[in-house]
Amino acid sequence: MALVTISGYPSSGKTRRAEQIRNHLETRLQDSAYIGPKLKVAVLSDDSLNIDRGAYNDGRAEKLARGALFTALQRQMGADTILIVDSLNYIKGFRYQMYCAARESRLRVCTVYVLATPELCREWNTVREDGRAYLPETLDSLLLRFEEPSSMVRWDSPLITVPWTDEDVPADDIWKAVTEGNVKPPNAGT
Ligand code: ADP
Ligand code: MG
């Protein structure tokens, strides 16, 4: 049905945003105004695949991790699923590859760019308590390599940017991108 690609710096708040998106989507799918097909929301992440942060310390391990993510993505994509891919997704070519796979399966797509300053990411990385911190030098190297999503290219579009100052994600925009046309107009009869 749809693929929601999260992209953002390490420790920028991607998982937090992915959970907000999941909650909004599940609430709306359960709402009586929703008249589309029965859908479930799934989140695919490094954590759900047990990929350790250490994989990003080393190019070869990282490549293997990306392969594992892509394989899982292909397995979990489907007509009955809104799949949220919560990973760095910082390589333009990789986002392109995911986009092609999604379109081949006739999925709707959208990219959510989780934005935080490098300083905040470093700070949040230092204080995180979930054992999922990146090594400081790995974090810095990922910041340098990061290839920003762009609304000018079709594989990142529609692009929804969420700055760190926003309390919540723009749920209406995301909902529209993934399910357009499946909701009763507000004043329609029952
Ligand atoms: P990522 O998935 O990008 O690594 P997380 O969502 O796991 O990031 O967040 C990393 C850490 O930063 C967590 O400890 C989280 O509580 C904190 N954090 C994330 N976003 C914010 C925010 N907007 N304000 C304050 N702290 C945040
Ligand atoms: Mg995360």
Is position 186 within any domain?
no
Number of domains in the chain: 1
Token pair of 2, please?
């749809």
Asked if the model's pLDDT at residue 182 lies above 70, the reply is no
Give the domain range for residue 147: 2-179
Token pair 């470093």 is found at: 122
Q: In 32-130, which ranges are continuous DSSP H helix?
A: 59-76, 92-104, 118-127
Is position 32 within any domain?
yes
Ligand 1 atom closest to the Cα of residue 11 is 4
Nearest CA to ligand 1 atom 26: 124
Helix (H, G, I), strand (E, B) or coil at 109: strand
CB 77 within 8 A of CB 102: yes
Token pair of 158, please?
């529609």
Is position 70 within any domain?
yes
Is position 184 within any domain?
no
Amino acid at 93: G
Element (H, E) at 175: helix 171-179
Is position 189 within any domain?
no
For the stretch 28-71, pLDDT in tens is 999 999 988 999 999 999 999 999 999 999 999 999 999 999 99
Ligand 1 atom closest to the Cα of residue 16 is 6
The domain spanning residue 161 has which CATH number? 3.40.50.300
Is position 187 within any domain?
no
Pocket test for ligand 1, best of 124, 135, 165 (most atoms within 8 A of CB): 124
Is position 61 within any domain?
yes
CB 129 within 8 A of CB 23: no
For the stretch 113-149, pLDDT in tens is 999 999 999 999 999 999 999 999 999 999 999 999 9
Is position 132 within any domain?
yes
